Chain A
Amino acid sequence: MVRVLPVLNVLGVVLTIFAVAMVVPAAVSFFMDDAAQHAYDEAVLITLGAGLGLWAATRYDRRELQPRDGFLLVALVWTILPAFATLPLIIFLPELSFTDAYFETVSGLTASGATVLSGLDTLPPSINFWRTFLVWIGGMGVVVLAVAILPLLGVGGSQIFKAETPGPMKDTKLTPRIAETAKGLWGVYALITLACIAAFKLAGMTWFDAVVHAFSTMGLGGFAAYDASFGHWNSPAIEVVAIFFMLVAGINFATHFVAFRKRQLTSYRDDPEAKLFLVVIILSCFGIAWYLLGNHVYADFWTALRYASFNVVSVATTTGFSTTDYNQWPIFAPVWMLFLCCFACCSGSTGGGIKMVRAVIMTKQAFRELKRIVHPRAYIPVKLAGQVVENNIVFAVLAFMMVYAGTIISLTMLMAASGLDIVTAFSAIVACVNNTGPGLAQVGPATTYAILTDFQIWLCITGLLLGRLELLTLLVVFTPGFWRQ
């Protein structure tokens, strides 16, 4: 049986650390001298109190976590942390309902970028910082971070690590110790983020904007500090930097890690997923540019390519920045972009969706079945980069796909039943489950999720969490067998 108390104990520790993380925007607020300073004092104190209280109350129940406990911990962390993260928002913006604030922080932590807030330009800088900071932490994973800095999680750490890391094959440890792996991944993530900040600054942003948008870019979140998103600058240089780092963040960080450790680029060549990811996205950019040109959206090819590539990369990598209201483009383009965001990102990246590797396995499995009809006695393995993919992984991927499709369909139905038009309902759910952010029609890039009712917002929150934790990790907590002896 799952032992709740030891899990709560670890949750207390994680909450305490989260309170410490909240000091960062408080410091930002202090130095920038903005209007939100008082909000953080209370928020930090409440979170710290809750964390320490939980830890103290359960300190005699401390035990090494079992694999099953890991799932519960991950589920709790991902639902409770955003609740505390809403504190600065609610305190500073009293008119903001808890539902909307919770949606905002869940969307941030799951690195989605769907927002209910408008008038971002006028918000205090520290609030925008807090939103994107959540994206950055959530992008690589809160629990992964905890595993990296908390040796107390012990052996169970690897189970928790697996529960949070996206992708179907999680058994490849990069280093003998899971804590070292977590540290390595976070180190690489932080380093690339620093590079991204510098690049944004060089391309013409202010330091503050560079930091905030680098967080949002690397986490493939999509929160921006301006209502016009990247359209605010209208600068090709900044767009190129953003495109580059979105693509970097869309590749498996384990691949980056190996490249950093060996100090050579061969690991990218050996990663079939990364290659396919880049090929699919680059072809789509040119295809969409050509399509837009053909439909006379833009007058010349280079302008078309500029807007197509930024927005295609942004949506396909599940980021959700925009430089224009692509909702106005002929319908094929945004639908294709939304389709890409379902599968384009690599496993182990900060992006969402099915992940490229699952899509590849699915396709290969389909061709295998076709081949089997011709050769009933043949042994045809599904292979990735010359390695055989075990059948149980293929089955797991199939189950994942089924649950994924089921989730999208049922949530869309509920959205539609609650009164939304089908395009908005469907695109909002697709954008949430894939952690992309903006959808189409009423929730398109030029609008926000604020028009949705509370019920619809809760449906979206469900989609966001399910998508970020890759469905099964979260759903398993709701199965009776999980709680039984």
Chain B
Amino acid sequence: MKIVILGAGQVGSSVAEGLVSEQNDITVIDTDHQRLHELQDRLDMRTVFGNAAHPSVLAQAGIEDADMLIAVTQSDETNLVACKLAHSLFNVPTRIARIRATDFLENERIFSPENFAVDLVICPEQILTDYIFKLVQFPEALQVLEFAHGKVSLVAVKAFQGGPLVGHQLSDLKQHIPSVDARVAAIFRGDRPIVPEGDTVIEAGDEVFCMSATHEIRQVMRELRRMDKPVRRVMIAGGGNIGLRLARALERDYLVKIVEHNKRRCEILSGELNNALVLQGDATDESLLESENIEEMDVFVAVTNDDENNIMSCLLAKRFGARRVVSLINRRSYVDLLQAGQIDIAISPAQTTIGSLLAHVRRGDVTQVHSLRRGAAEALEAVVHGDASSCKLVGRRIEQIDLPKGSTIAALVRGEQVIVGHHDTEVKADDHLIIFVTNKKLLPSVEKLFQVGVGFL
């Protein structure tokens, strides 16, 4: 696929990185020579210097032949104009824009084809906020992902000694919680994926991915580890866009304290937030943390722009007794270094946000993609089209489907109904299939299953 990316910032470059590795032709436009050079040195792609909203610059980037435009510059306005131009001047089929201002987001009509012609609006800050919000709601989980408009959830849990199912075979799950229909989609032991079978035994320390209807998630998690008491106090380090959104989402149900260094920003935060307490200071300032009872915090979330600051404040918070610490970490090497160490959850913004873009790059009708385990694995939701003669899925039971080893059909959503995937479940047309792929290399063969073949008889 030919893709033009506007903006070589954090989102732009991580999107480029993610897409280059999937055999796409990428061109990046930015107004910063330095950043473009760095990107070109690192990745196999083209860069163009200039204002991304100028038609001449877009043309220079080869937008006439592009299949997709991803506008992720710092400016909402530039992104909107670029999408409009791509639509009316260059006929680019798919246009994606990053929009931050809620003023734009509140009115759907702005993005319709006759206006700014944006096919998909992404807001990385909001995606991250939702992601962290889930982790506060489910403090036992490493990751909570939703599919089919929240009907089905995939949750990653670290199995602990003391969980009823730990040390037992997977087939016991049904007897433990007969009322809940759940399925273990994958198990990672260390870094090695294990394809879950009925006789697989869960060991303490395993990272288990479970699929079930969203409202039953808690019961499933209870099988794998002792549940903590629910979260009440949350401290957020960093009052940027993510910190503010997160505080706003949490302040009604939790006691929220937000620490921000910049005084001017503190004023804005305290104006925007109604219940959360805004504290001016450094999140790595131990006297501030101590005087604000860090030891009683159920969750400590570090979301400043600075990786090192996030890590240090999390380590500090952990040492002072915060129950669970979550850190935003941009650098991939840091994520690998810290996950499952002292920091309970390390979140990579790039990996978290790239999923919504990947859904559009995939062949077949893919509605949702979640990147897992730092991009190594993937969970995707795709719609089955066609009929028994044109599609390899329709009318077949799951055991009959020729899935590559390492991928699992974890669940189906048929209309409003959630069906957890078992060997004898039959797939019908228009079902949404949620598939867990333990290795990205398997993706092409999975995608192929969803393509309706004209010549397939």
Q: Which residues of A contact B (CB under 8 A)?
A: 375-381, 383, 386-388
Contact = CB atoms under 8 A, between A and B. Distances in A.
Contact of B280 (A379, A381, A386): A379
B281 A379 contact: no
Contacts of B278: 378-380
B19 interface: no
26 contacts: A375-B277, A375-B279, A375-B292, A376-B291, A377-B279, A377-B280, A377-B281, A377-B288, A377-B291, A377-B292, A378-B277, A378-B278, A379-B266, A379-B267, A379-B269, A379-B280, A380-B270, A380-B277, A380-B278, A381-B267, A381-B270, A381-B271, A383-B271, A383-B274, A386-B274, A388-B270
Contacts of B281: 377
Nearest to A386: B274
Interface in B264-307: 266-267, 269-271, 274, 277-281, 288, 291-292
A383 B279 CA distance: 17
Contact of B279 (A378, A381, A386, A387): A378
Nearest to A388: B271
Nearest to A376: B291
B228 to A, nearest CB: 26
Contacts of A386: 274
Contacts of A381: 267, 270-271
Contact count band on B? 10 to 19
A-B pairs, top 5 by smallest CB distance, nearest first, are A388-B271, A379-B270, A379-B266, A379-B278, A381-B270
Nearest to B287: A377
Contacts of A377: 279-281, 288, 291-292
A360 to B, nearest CB: 16
Q: Is the interface of A mostly helix, strand, loop or mixed?
A: loop
A139 B266 CA distance: 42
Contacts of A379: 266-267, 269-270, 278-280
B287 to A, nearest CB: 10
A386 B278 CA distance: 16
A379 B270 CA distance: 6
A77 to B, nearest CB: 38
A395 to B, nearest CB: 16
Contacts of B266: 379
Given A377-B280, A377-B291, 5 more contacts: A375-B279, A378-B280, A380-B278, A383-B274, A386-B274
B286 to A, nearest CB: 13
A123 B420 CA distance: 92
Interface of B: 266-267, 269-271, 274, 277-281, 288, 291-292
Nearest to B288: A377
A169 to B, nearest CB: 16
A378 B267 CA distance: 10
Contacts of B270: 379-381, 388
Contacts of A380: 270, 277-278
A376 B291 CA distance: 9
B182 to A, nearest CB: 43
A391 to B, nearest CB: 9
A91 B274 CA distance: 61
A125 B133 CA distance: 72
A388 to B, nearest CB: 4
Nearest to B265: A379
A368 to B, nearest CB: 11
A9 to B, nearest CB: 44
Contacts of B267: 379, 381, 388
Contacts of B274: 383, 386
Nearest to B266: A379
Nearest to A381: B270
A383 B267 CA distance: 12
Contacts of A387: 271
B275 to A, nearest CB: 11
A388 B281 CA distance: 21
Contacts of B291: 376-377
B257 to A, nearest CB: 8
A381 B280 CA distance: 13
A261 to B, nearest CB: 24
Contacts of A375: 277, 279, 292
Contacts of B280: 377-379
Residue of A376, A381, A386, A387 with highest tally of chain B CB at under 10 A:
A381
A444 to B, nearest CB: 45
A256 to B, nearest CB: 28
A277 B119 CA distance: 50
A376 B279 CA distance: 9
Nearest to B260: A379
Contacts of A388: 267, 270-271
Residue of A376, A383, A386, A387 with highest tally of chain B CB at under 10 A:
A376
A316 B434 CA distance: 67
A393 to B, nearest CB: 14
B10 to A, nearest CB: 28
A376 B280 CA distance: 9
A338 B327 CA distance: 58
A179 to B, nearest CB: 32
A381 B278 CA distance: 10
A380 B280 CA distance: 10
Contacts of B277: 375, 378, 380
A265 B23 CA distance: 60
A387 B272 CA distance: 9
A212 to B, nearest CB: 48
Nearest to A380: B270
Contacts of A376: 291
A377 B281 CA distance: 7
Contacts of B288: 377
A380 B273 CA distance: 10
Contacts of B269: 379
A112 B35 CA distance: 71
A379 B274 CA distance: 12
A452 B411 CA distance: 90
A485 to B, nearest CB: 36
Nearest to A389: B271
Nearest to B277: A378
Residue of B269, B277, B288 with highest tally of chain A CB at under 10 A:
B277
B279 to A, nearest CB: 5
A386 B271 CA distance: 8
A375 B267 CA distance: 16
A101 to B, nearest CB: 52
B317 to A, nearest CB: 16
A381 B266 CA distance: 10
A379 B239 CA distance: 12
A127 B336 CA distance: 90
A377 B278 CA distance: 8
A272 to B, nearest CB: 14
B410 to A, nearest CB: 43
B248 to A, nearest CB: 12
A388 B271 CA distance: 6
A268 to B, nearest CB: 22
Contacts of A378: 277-280
A253 B30 CA distance: 53
A86 to B, nearest CB: 50
A372 to B, nearest CB: 11
A364 to B, nearest CB: 13
Nearest to B292: A375
A455 to B, nearest CB: 50
A334 B170 CA distance: 78
A380 B258 CA distance: 12
A402 to B, nearest CB: 26
Residue of A379, A381, A386, A388 with highest tally of chain B CB at under 10 A:
A379
A381 B277 CA distance: 10
Contacts of B292: 375, 377
A379 B262 CA distance: 11
A375 B277 CA distance: 9
A377 B291 CA distance: 10
A378 B281 CA distance: 9
A381 B279 CA distance: 12
A381 B273 CA distance: 10
